[in-house]
Every structure is written in structure tokens, then in C-alpha cells.
Amino acid sequence: MHLNEKRTPKQLLPRRRVLVSAFSLLMLVFTGGTIAMAEGEFRQIQIPERENGYSIFDSQSITTKPEFEKFVKSIEDADNFNNKDAFLSTLRNAKIEFGKDSLVLLRHSEGSGSTKVTLNPPQLKNKQLICKLERKAAQIGTADMAYYCYAFAVSKSAIKEVVFDNGRRTQTISTVSAK
């Protein structure tokens, strides 16, 4: 295309996508890796999606500051993380107010690292946060384990349970303390 030729809107679309992606990345950097809560109900915390160290814990809700500190200590003592510091610093910088919020960690394991895993946008229905994974197996698997985790800060008053459907089973996690 020459300099004096005009581009059609269809030809400009890739540039717009790049600009929107760049803007989104900048927003994540400036907000400390979090996505704002939807009307105070929940926000996703942008921890590394895939990490070998996630194999040491299950999906869970952390509802108090002492529970959070105990969890952090268990991670600090673990040896099998690729990037433990990124995971822990993102959780610490999320500034979760445990008096009114819970930290929910949704864990998923795949028997093959070549399976594509995508978290659909969460849906809030009747005080339940519905989180569903889409899985797409490759034609030829790599036979290596892959461990995924998604973190959310959720309002204890707005969300009573998180329902996690990983494509194989559905798990319900309470966002309020069992004590």
C-alpha cells in the first residue's frame, strides 16, 4: 500500500486490536495485575495462569488474613515452583480486604500440556459465581502434566459460592468461613 492510499476500516482493524491490547496490558500493569470488581462483587487477580507449583494445593477459598498468611507460608516453603515470586507478589499486591472479601483459588490439572485451556468470563447468578473452563485437546498430546490456577477476590456479601466447572467435573466452593 502506498502512502497516499486510504485504508478501509477493515484494513485498520488489526491496528485497533494492537492498540486495544496494548491499552489493556498497561491497565493491568498500573492496577497491580487485577481487574476491577464488577460493581463490588468480584475481580480476577492476574496470577500466572500456568505454573508447576500449583500442583501442591487444591481449589479453595481463603476467608481470613491468618488463613492467607498460612497459605503464603506453605508456598514460600515449597520447592517445585517455576516462578513463586510472581505468584506471591501478585497475591500480596491484590490488597484483599478479608473482612469483606475472600480469595478464591480455582485449580485445574491437565494430563497433557498441549491441551488448550481457557477460562470463560465468569457469570454471577443468584449469589453464585459460575466459572467454566473450555478445554481443547490437541490431536497429539505431549504427556506432560500442566497445572493451572485462577484467582478471584470475591465479596462475601454478594457471592456465597463459586461454582467451578473444569470440563470434567463441577466443584462448589463457599466464600464464607466454615468456622
% pLDDT > 70, the chain: 76
Question: Over the Cα atoms of the chain, what is R_g?
Answer: 19
10 Å Cβ neighbour count for 148? 18
10 Å Cβ neighbour count for 155? 21
> Considering the domain boundaries, does residue 75 fall inside one?
yes
> Considering the domain boundaries, does residue 23 fall inside one?
no
Per-residue model confidence as pLDDT tens digits over 47-61: 999 999 999 999 999
> Considering the domain boundaries, does residue 101 fall inside one?
yes
> Considering the domain boundaries, does residue 1 fall inside one?
no
pLDDT bin (cut points 50, 70, 90) of residue 7 is low
Asked whether 128 and 160 are in contact (CB, 8 A), the reply is yes
Q: Quick one: 110 exposed, middle or buried, by C-beta within 10 A (0-12, 13-18, 19+)?
A: buried
Residue spans of alpha helices (H) in the chain:
9-30, 65-76, 84-93
Inform me whether the pLDDT recorded for 40 exceeds 50.
Answer: yes
DSSP state of 67: H
> Considering the domain boundaries, does residue 56 fall inside one?
yes
User: Domains in the chain: how many in total?
Assistant: 1
Asked whether 50 and 119 are in contact (CB, 8 A), the reply is no
Asked whether 96 and 103 are in contact (CB, 8 A), the reply is yes
> Considering the domain boundaries, does residue 104 fall inside one?
yes
Which residue range(s) make up the domain with 121? Answer: 33-174
User: Would you state the pLDDT for residue 18?
Assistant: 42
Name the helix (H) or strand (E) containing 170. strand 170-174
10 Å Cβ neighbour count for 83? 12
> Considering the domain boundaries, does residue 25 fall inside one?
no
Q: Which of 9-18, 35-44, 80-89 has the lowest mean pLDDT?
A: 9-18
User: Would you state the pLDDT for residue 142?
Assistant: 74
Inform me whether the pLDDT recorded for 168 exceeds 50.
Answer: yes
